[in-house]
């Protein structure tokens, strides 16, 4: 599960800390901030790219992403950025 952002035609990963655990509220605030800027947020989920089109979808994504990211940190799993 990776969070990406399409901006001016280019898709880039949204950087996240490799050592910091995030709360769902913290990620929700960050993602809503990115959503208000120009560009589109995308979630790469098992190879499927899912566009996040509404604030409700962003809130759900933030909760799922916090659980996934924090479990990777806890289990010391390195997630590929490719």
Q: The pTM is what?
A: 0.78
CA distances from 61 to 28, 30, 37, 40, 69 (A): 8, 12, 18, 14, 12
Q: Quote the pLDDT of residue 19.
A: 86
Q: How high is the pLDDT of residue 79?
A: 60
C-alpha–C-alpha distance, residues 67 and 52, integer Å: 18
Q: What are the residue ranges spanned by the domains of the chain?
A: 2-74
pLDDT at 78: 67
| pLDDT for 82 | 46
| Torsion angle defined by CA atoms of residues 6, 25, 36 and 69, in that order, rounded to the nearest 10 degrees | -10
Question: What does the pLDDT look like over 24-67, one tens digit per residue?
Answer: 999 999 998 888 777 789 999 888 999 999 989 999 999 999 99
Position 17 scores a pLDDT of 87
């Amino acid at each position: 599960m990776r969070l990406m952002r399409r901006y001016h035609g280019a898709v880039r990963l949204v950087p996240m800390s490799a050592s910091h655990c995030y709360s769902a509220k913290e990620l929700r605030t960050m993602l809503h901030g990115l959503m208000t800027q120009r560009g589109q947020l995308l979630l790469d989920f098992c190879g499927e790219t899912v566009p996040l089109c509404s604030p409700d979808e962003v809130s759900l994504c933030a909760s799922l992403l916090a659980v996934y990211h924090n479990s990777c940190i806890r289990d010391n799993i390195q997630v590929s950025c490719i």
